[in-house]
Amino acid sequence: MFPRMSNRLGTALLLLCAVCAPRLRAEAASSPVVRYHFGDDPDGKLGWADPDFDDIAWPVAQQGRWLEPPFYSDGFVWVRVQVPVRRDAAGPLAVQISNQSAFLIAEELFVNGVPVGRQGSLPPQAAPVAYARSAVFDLPPGAAGKGTTAAVALRAWYPPGVRSRAGATAVFAVDESRNLHLELRANHFAALIGDGPNLALNAIIFLLGAGLILFWRWAGGRDLLVCSWMLMAASLMPLWGASVSLGLVAVSLWTYSLVYVGLQALSMAATVELVWAVHNLRALGLKRLYHASWVIGNSTFLILSLGVKPSPIVFWSHQAMMPALLCFDSIQIAVNLWALIARRANGLVAAAMIVIPVTDLLQNYGNLRGVHIGPFYETYFGLSLFLCEFALFAMLGQRAWKAWRARDELRVEFDAAREVQEQLVAPAMDVPGFRIESVYAPAKQVGGDFFRVLPGSDGSVLVVVGDVSGKGLKAAMTVSAIVGALRGCNLRGPREVLEYLNRVLYGQVSGFVTCSATLIAGDGEMTHANAGNPAPYRNGEEMPVGTGLPLGILQESRYAETHCQLGPGDRLTFVSDGIVEARNRTGELFGFDRTQAMSGAGAQALAQAAIDFGQDDDITVLTVTRWTDGGARQAPQAAPALVPA
């Protein structure tokens, strides 16, 4: 009848059956006596599948629940039950087995001694299925008679990882094939409906996690990143499990287990990192123990899932898995309880993160199961996961939003600081008698390098180049003080200039300032004093100059002067240490040799070469070329923008 129904009517009937079928079947099954026996009858010589076999000596499964075989055994258990067949059954017959919580099993079903179907593969080529679904197997003609009792025998094999548990049950029925198939479909549909809210909520959690990833790319923040990973992995895990158990995805046990354990491990690792990041914890020993517990828990889970022989490694995995997971939950509870008291600002996050392990423990060691709402079912653990994950998403999302706003305001402040610094360290302009080219490339938004080119009324030019140790805003503030001091200074002698700056800076800076001052007279006579800055290069050759302590270290530092004569067309190249200490990915330095080799190539080329090599610090290059014709003041060199490597 069903195939001839319209699709809409068929769907409606299916829905009705989905809601009612499990209850009807449960009522119909009048609890026949179930007997079981450990061991195997692989070739049927013992007759365990035969209808006439006398199983009176076999233990009776209490309330239909038979025990699983001992760990050190062949893993087989046979179950026999006499199932009545309706006299008024019409059409071909079939047998149905409704597995209850059958996880990791391979099974074969016989009716009156006739093998009718199997799930998974039994030893010697053992390949259990992750979830043994309810199944209906059509009986060959004559295998069972209407109005009689059929001897149904189940030959089940349990891998070592799931032996010695609390027991297993199944419901058996022999009835009209079309009815049983219809009921099977209805049961699957009911399972789908029952899991619907679970699947939908996990899909939402996954999308929230994916949304957090996008938000993280925009706003940054380690806690946001690990939270997004935790949400996505934790939601994919039940989605994957449900997809396989509902038969939506058909994969091998290997694939199922690897994906499941991978997701679970990722979720637990992200949880550890999230807890430590959110509460800003440092207890590295405890963190290692926390990580070790999930590594042990998941690796032993994988061994238990995939081991087919009862070896010591499987035995000890069996012993270690639950304590490892208990350890994981306990650390999560303890750390978050501590945070609840000591890190009150994180109180809500801590409270949310306590809920998950508490419900997990109550589920594993207590009697906490789940709740039925109409046709829907959800475990308390699942509900706590949803609540916690939503709460985490909301709280961390709000926190990240505030942090992003604060950073945005800070960015505006930095932009303003950069504008001010661009005024203070403006590109140098040619001065009468000298051609000037400069490049200033801070490693961050603002830098700690500085230079000043100060022409004199006598045709001379004073060049001051320096570098504040460190970088960023702190160094930039010191640069402002130095430039301000130079503006108020009428000194022209390099030694006097350095000693003046040293007095200004002493006691005012936490690090030091390297600096060189060079006075070039109109006739080319050059006087140079150096306080720890790299020596200048003259026409590609490093100049031998005196050295001195950087500024700001000793109150009474003294600096020697070096003199030489510059000819027409001679070019001096001043660099900051950001050039020589540019580092590539392997840690190799740009170094003095490369700097010297490129010092004649011009400021732009030298700076760009160092940036391409690997900028690690502020970079300044300033070249001063003595003109032969005492040329007029010109506009700043049109320097192309430097491209970061």
Partner 1 sequence: MQSETKARVDQLTSPVGHPVTVLRFEGDIASTSKDAVLGTYQSLPKETSKLVLLDFTKVDYINSSGIALVIQMLIEASNSGQKVYAFGLSPHFTKVFTMVGITKYAGLFAGQAEALGAL
- In terms of Cβ atoms closer than 10 Å to its own Cβ (0-12, 13-18, 19+), residue 619 is buried
From the CB of 589, what's the least distance to partner 1, in Å? 6
Q: Which stretch binds partner 1 (CB under 8 A): 86-94, 338-346, 530-538, 626-634?
A: 530-538
Task: Using the rule CB under 8 A, give the single segment among 248-256, 426-434, 488-496, 533-541 that binds partner 1.
Answer: 533-541
Which is nearer to partner 1, 469 or 625 (by Cβ)?
469
Tallying the residues shown for the chain, one arrives at 645
Question: Cα(13)–Cα(11) distance, rounded to whole angstroms?
Answer: 5
Distance CA 227, CA 397 (A): 10
Report the residue number, 143 or 468, with the smaller CB distance to partner 1.
Answer: 468
| Nearest CA among 645, 643, 642 for reference residue 439 | 642
- Map residue 164 onto helix, strand or coil: coil
For CA atoms 123, 129, 133, 137, the dihedral sign is negative
Residue 535: CB minimum distance to partner 1, A: 7
Cβ atoms within 10 A of the Cβ of 641, count? 6
Q: Which is nearer to partner 1, 97 or 509 (CB)?
A: 509
**By the rule CB under 8 A, 511 interacts with partner 1:** yes
Asked whether the beta carbons of 193 and 376 are under 8 A apart, the reply is yes
Q: Give whole-number Cα distances, 441 to 368, 421, 423, 512, 574, in Å.
A: 63, 12, 14, 20, 14
Smallest gap from residue 287 Cβ to partner 1 (A): 17
The answer to whether residue 382 forms part of the interface with partner 1 (CB under 8 A) is: no
Residues 264, 297: Cα–Cα separation, whole Å: 10
Instruction: Note whether 480 and 439 are within 8 A (CB).
Output: no
Stretch that binds partner 1, among 85-93, 428-436, 495-503, 507-515 (CB under 8 A): 507-515
Q: Which residue of 194, 534, 536, 602 would you call a contact of partner 1, by CB under 8 A?
A: 534
Among 514, 518, 620, 625, binds partner 1 (CB under 8 A): 514
Among 404, 616, 627, 642, binds partner 1 (CB under 8 A): 616
Cβ distance to partner 1 smaller for residue 107 or 577: 577
482 φψ region: left (φ > 0), alpha (ψ -120 to 50), beta (else): alpha
The residue among 236 and 515 lying less far from partner 1, judged by its C-beta, is 515
Handedness of CA 583, 512, 429, 592 (dihedral sign): negative
Q: Distance between alpha carbon 603 and the CA centroid of its chain, in Å?
A: 43
The Cα 301–Cα 306 span in angstroms is 9
Report the DSSP pairing between strands 76-84 and 34-38. Answer: antiparallel
Among 252, 371, 554, 630, binds partner 1 (CB under 8 A): 554
Query: In this chain, which of 512, 537, 574, 613 binds partner 1, going by CB under 8 A?
Result: 512
The residue within the footprint of partner 1, chosen from 64, 69, 447, 548 (CB under 8 A), is: 548
Count residues near partner 1 (CB under 8 A). 27
Query: Quick one: which segment of 74-82, 103-111, 221-229, 511-519 binds partner 1 (CB under 8 A)?
Result: 511-519
Closest to partner 1 by CB, 1 or 284: 284
Cβ atoms within 10 Å of 423's Cβ, excluding its own: 9
Stretch binding partner 1 (CB under 8 A), from 21-29, 252-260, 307-315, 506-514: 506-514
| Residue with tokens 């079928």, as numbered in its chain | 21
Given the complex with partner 1, which of 257 and 533 has the nearer CB atom? 533
Q: Closer to partner 1 at the Cβ: 171 or 545?
A: 545
For residue 589, give the amino acid letter. Answer: L
CB of 534: closest distance to partner 1 in angstroms? 6
Question: Residues 566-605: x/- map of binding to partner 1 (CB under 8 A)?
Answer: -----------x--xx-x---x-x-xx-------------
Q: What beta strand segments (E) does 302-375 contain? A: 370-373
**Is 175 a residue that touches partner 1 (CB under 8 A)?**
no
Nearest to 246 by CA among 306, 214, 198, 315: 198
Q: How many angstroms separate the CA atoms of 319 and 616, rounded? A: 52
In the complex, minimum distance from the CB of residue 468 to partner 1, in angstroms, rounded to a whole number: 8
Region near partner 1 per CB under 8 A, out of 54-62, 455-463, 488-496, 509-517: 509-517
Residues that bind partner 1 (CB under 8 A): 467, 469-470, 511-512, 514, 530, 532-535, 547-550, 553-554, 577, 580-581, 583, 587, 589, 591-592, 616-617
